[in-house]
Structure 1
Amino acid sequence: MKGKGLYSSLIGAALFATLSTAAMAQGTIKIGEVNSYKTQPAFLGPYKNGMELAISQINDAGGINGKKLELIIRDDNSNTGDAVRAVEELLARDKVDVLTGTFLSNIGLAVTDYAKHKKVFFLASEPLTDKIVWADGNHYTFRLRASTYMQVAMLIPEAVKLKKKRWAVVYPNYEYGQSAVATFKTLLKAAQPDVEFVAEQATPLGKVDAGNVIQALADAKPDAVFNVLFAADLAKLVRAGTQRNFFKDLPVVSLLTGEPEYLDPLGDETPEGWIVTGYPWYAIDTPEHKAFLAAYQAKFKDYPRLGTIVGYGAIQSLAAGIKKAGGKTDTESMVKAFTGLKVDTPFGPIEYRAIDHQSTMGAYVGKLAKKDGKGIMTDIRYIDGAAVQPTDAQVKQWRPASAN
């Protein structure tokens, strides 16, 4: 009898453990995230913090329909093959419910293509290439951050105000840089027909020969420069240009340079007067940003970067989408929920457009200055992403009909 009692107890304990495990599994929504953490730590460290803050806030408030969010991260090593393998592992082994992430545009496109062929939902949080929502857009992929086209369009009015005819361009020679320069040329030419592009320097990502680039640009004698370099490449360009007095009295329009990830390392070398897109966290006076900033500083004892906003917004978006889907996370439920989805973010309300799955998240435009030996943005203004989109007719022309 004792043996039977022990046996029954063991069976009961095993059954309880099994039921408890099942209950725990049912109480968790797994978010799979793939990104270039090893190669782009300046952006993706703060990005990860933003995701963690959003998840902790959502879970502390009871989760989504009683289910807690769980984040499972994989590094893609800035390699498209590794990115696809990481996604497959997240889906097959970790059994994640939804996918998000990617930083580099070529990685984002690889996962976008995977989502299309495997018919899985994917929220591209950061990659900027326009192809994700237009030429290579598909039914399953949505994108959070303002695209290359949108951010370039924000800078065009400022470039036109300069009234400069001879422009030089410098950019990293991969999808993001190529599309940024192509858009800048097209939009500036449309706004200022007499413009000329007298020099073009396309550099290997992370391997810029800044001295030779500056010399080539100087030889062309431009009236103004459009720069798309970022991170360490940006710092090298600024240093080489300053040493040669190339940037003295030369107007520069520069994509992303006002983001703390790339501006802070410049310190006292910050080139004053450059017209940039960025994130002046210290000067944004809206209630939603103040609340976000206070929560972030309380949790991490640090200030946020642009990556923080993107990571936080990605989790906010996924949570809003799952809530709208009634707690469902299957592909078609998420696609339906994200089509026209409205989300409150630290930058204000955004919407995922039905026509191309692009969110209307905007960005800040301003000029670089220095304060206490550190670079800052001044004369800032927020530009709503909805105000810098191409027409619906253009989107329909660029985006495959099968994508929707």
Structure 2
Amino acid sequence: MTTTWVNGADEAGYGADNLPFGVFSPSGGGPRVGVRVGDHVLDLAGVLGDPEFTAGSLNPFMARGATAWRATHAKVAGTLARESGRPMAEPHLFPLDEVRLHAPFDVADYVDFYCSLEHASNVGRIFRPNDDPIKANWRHLPVAYHGRSGTVVPSGTDIVRPEGQRGSTEDKGPVFGPSTRLDVEAELGFVVGTPTSLGRAVPVEDFAEHVFGVVVVNDWSARDIQGWESAPLGPFLGKSFATSISPWVVPLDALAAARVAGREQDPEPLPYLRRVADWGLDIAVELRMNGEVVSRPPYASMYWTPDQMLAHLTSNGASLRTGDLYASGTISGPSPGQRGSLLELTWGGAEPLTLADGSTRTFLRDGDTVTIAASARGMGGGTITLGEVTGTVRPTSHQGV
């Protein structure tokens, strides 16, 4: 089904039924808000005139709330769908290869969840082979840790191999140096637009009134640093060095056709976590190393859904701020080809991954480029693209480039 008069937009997955928001700079101009349409960016300030769209961040627009988001998305989609909208919009379309993309929003807080049953089970079997892989609390609440917002970076940012303390193989105490077990985690992130006051919990039914949209996330992880530091508390320096996000925020409205019933949960969650709407998402994810697909994790298999994540995140009265980001945790499915991290794909390094060029990997080498892409069914009946997040590993800074 054709959703727009912009040539090639539907075939590229960026038709009028998608319209992800981002921030771009045209040649010779400052940052402003636009939506992607095929291989172009539509300047929203030029088409709609709202002052929020001249900002170098989505935050002012997101703070206007869900009514404004939906009205804007519908208005732009209608303009791009009708031939009569061409004279108004076409002068404000910029070729993608002639603009510079920026981080789409200013990150306020960052929380990372752990919501895949398969991922949690695999990690438990790798690190605790003689124990129950799933901790007693895992099926009762979506487990998470609070990350570092200042190191959330846009796609294309190089990732410097982190240094830190890690246990020595000779059991002689810790050593300090570059991580030797640098990993990736394929995730989706949910971007908060509407804030809340301190002391107010957000019920599951209010999810879509607070979450503006979705980004693709790579939660880079230094497994050796993480393993040493995570007793007795959780991830810290093994995670905080970098988290990459895609340049486009796909609005929730664009994912209406991708909504499915969430995975059955046993035991039934406590009342504040019980679902009242279908917020499972049938989103296809692709993990590539140096251009080669190594895994296809299915987001539909996630145990905890994003409405439950938000309800739990705020259940103690923690406030939301515009620009808060929370991620799903690694997406992994039941088959080996659906695992969303190298930790799982190589079973802790015991089963190296062989690439098409004959080289093998247990964890990332300097120079490796990782790309995570996602797509879903669109309201127009075709496929919409959520975008890609890419990063290349560079040597530890003191080793030179």
TM-score (norm 2): 0.26
Higher relative contact order (CA 8 A, sep 6+): 2
TM-score (norm 1): 0.26
Q: Larger helix proportion, structure 1 or 2?
A: 1
